């Protein structure tokens, strides 16, 4: 963070004091936590969708087997 606040061209646009850097660190931490939570939720949803797809295919196969067995009997 010190290299960020000591940048020569940054002072042209905005003054960077300790409070600005603290706010930036807080924002970065909150952003990182939010990203991790969002990634976790998306991953869980993807896993559920994959499991349901597998269950649907398995149920279809079972139905076909039962139909074949019923036709033979």
Which pLDDT score, from 0 to 100, does residue 37 have?
Answer: 98
pLDDT at residue 4, rounded to an integer: 59
pLDDT of 69: 77
Q: What's the domain range around 47?
A: 2-72
Residues 6+ apart with CB under 8 A from 21: 1, 4, 5
- Total number of domains constituting the chain: 1
* Interval 14-64: pLDDT, tens: 677 888 889 999 999 999 999 999 999 999 999 999 999 999 988 888 877
Query: Tokens representing 68?
Result: 């074949």
Structure tokens at 21: 């850097």
Q: What does the pLDDT look like over 1-26, one tens digit per residue? A: 566 556 666 666 667 788 888 999 99
Return the sign of the alpha-carbon dihedral for residues 60, 63, 69, 71.
negative
Residue carrying structure tokens 């991953």: 43
């Amino acid at each position: 963070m010190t290299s960020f606040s000591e940048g020569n061209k940054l002072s042209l646009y905005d003054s960077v004091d300790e409070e600005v850097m603290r706010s930036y660190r807080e924002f970065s931490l909150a952003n990182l936590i939010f990203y991790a939570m969002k990634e976790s939720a998306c991953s869980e949803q993807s896993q559920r969708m994959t499991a349901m797809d597998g269950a649907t295919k398995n149920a279809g196969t079972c139905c076909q087997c039962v139909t074949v067995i019923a036709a033979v009997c």
